[in-house]
Amino acid sequence: MLYDLLRFLHLLAVLIWVGGMFLMHVAVRPTAVALLPPPQRLPLLAGVLGRFFAWVLVSVLILLGSGVAMILLAGGWRAVPASTHAMFALRLLRSAIFGYIRAVPFPRLRAAVAAQQWPQAAARLETIRRLVAVNLMLGVLTVAVATLGRGMS
């Protein structure tokens, strides 16, 4: 029962993080670009990202805690398949990219929006968009490893 609860929390965190990146990357941002001028679009996207990043932080912590707990319940690192090692490594990389986004370009985006410096804000948002695209691809790869990776063992 504990393992099933941990797996549920783990999958929920993945859905929030990867699904949120997909939604932002393919639907919210392109629609905002098409419909809103920078003085409306950039504060909106900065606000949406602020809320999303709070959920991503929770997801990162849940993924770490539930992942490590499931590994320990399975008998430790030596007992889990290679796909688990790959998932964990990809999670660490995705978390590092998120940490960088949250610590560097996102505060700069917020500062540029607050100062109504639209070209600078747009440049920061573009940096975030590119990094989110990388993280989205890594997230999909992680899901592929999780679902198809049993053969890696």
| Model pLDDT for residues 56-69, shown as the tens digit of each residue | 999 999 999 999 99
> Quick one: CA torsion of 38, 16, 151, 70, rounded to 10 degrees?
140
Percent of the chain with pLDDT over 70: 98
Average pLDDT, the chain: 96
pTM of the complete model: 0.93
What secondary structure does DSSP assign to 80-140, as a single string? S-HHHHHHHHHHHHHHHHHHHHHHTHHHHHHHHHHTT-HHHHHHHHHHHHHHHHHHHHHHH
Query: What total number of domains does the chain contain?
Result: 1
Full domain range(s) for residue 61: 2-152
List the structure tokens of 11.
Answer: 């999958």
What's the pLDDT at 153? Answer: 53
pLDDT bracket for residue 114 (50, 70, 90): very high
